[in-house]
């Protein structure tokens, strides 16, 4: 039985040597985690009890139940993704994955659906510049750390533009935390789809609850 084309494209070999891949990765909640920053910002504003320990999704669901909850949530997002981004942490295991990519010579591209300014953000912080600053501070562009060229980072204003970028970059695989991105009819065919998260089995993507599992699916496949 022949292997699916997505697997063949993701890891091709010539005389036993692994060929460099073109790995696309989403940014928000895939490379960078905001759980603690969101909790701290929500507590500061009196939106949550001090004992709340849920993740970003649980926090969002709780805030949306408040009066004017949707507007409150959007304002909180603008704060966290802008001025608060410095307190965000790299998702556990992403560091080891990126270092392996550098060592193997794989090209890494960061492709994110990110507007230039947050909704209802009175400070008008440029979210794209804030994200680049976060990456700069953590060695994304440093030759001796992750060695990702700055020009390999793309911020798109809409999901269709994000999908077009993935296709234009000819990514062999793409990693995202949002299932709706990977199953979108506009997602480019022939690109291996990897979901960073826990989901039921799907014929459309490999679901990996950790970056270690992502490494197994992408780099060790």
Q: Which fold has domain 5-33+89-218?
A: Rossmann fold (3.40.50)
For the chain, what are the domain ranges?
5-33+89-218, 36-87
Which are the contacts of 161, defined by CB distance < 8 A and separation ≥ 6?
A: 113
Residue 15 — pLDDT band, cuts 50, 70, 90?
A: very low
Q: Tell me: the pLDDT tens digits for 177-206?
A: 999 999 999 999 999 999 998 877 688 899
- pTM attached to this predicted model: 0.85
Across the chain, mean pLDDT equals: 88
Q: Residue 45 and residue 86: Cα distance in Å, rounded?
A: 18
For the record, the structure tokens of 109 come out as 């591209």
Segment 153-165 shows an average pLDDT of: 97
For residue 88, what are the CA distances in angstroms to 56, 84, 116?
A: 12, 7, 19
For the record, the structure tokens of 200 come out as 């039921």
Q: Residue 177 and residue 149: Cα distance in Å, rounded?
A: 23
């Amino acid at each position: 039985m022949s292997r699916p084309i997505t697997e063949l494209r993701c890891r091709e070999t010539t005389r036993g040597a692994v060929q460099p891949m073109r790995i696309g990765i989403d940014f928000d909640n895939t490379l960078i985690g905001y759980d603690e920053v969101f909790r701290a910002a929500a507590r500061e504003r009196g939106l949550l009890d001090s004992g709340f320990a849920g993740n970003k999704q649980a926090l969002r669901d709780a805030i949306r139940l408040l009066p004017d909850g949707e507007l409150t949530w959007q304002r909180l997002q603008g704060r966290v993704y802008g001025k608060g981004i410095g307190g965000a942490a790299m998702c556990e295991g992403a560091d080891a994955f990126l270092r392996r990519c550098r060592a193997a010579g794989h090209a890494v591209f960061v492709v994110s659906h990110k507007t230039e300014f947050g909704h209802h953000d009175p400070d008008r912080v440029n979210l794209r510049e804030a994200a680049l600053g976060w990456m700069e501070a953590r060695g994304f562009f440093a030759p001796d750390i992750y060695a990702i060229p700055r020009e390999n980072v793309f911020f798109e204003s809409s999901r269709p533009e994000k999908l077009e970028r993935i296709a234009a970059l000819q990514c062999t695989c793409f990693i995202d935390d949002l299932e709706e991105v990977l199953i979108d009819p506009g997602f480019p065919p022939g690109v291996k789809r990897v979901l960073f998260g826990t989901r039921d089995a799907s014929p459309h993507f490999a679901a990996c609850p950790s970056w270690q599992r992502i490494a197994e699916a992408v780099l060790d496949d």
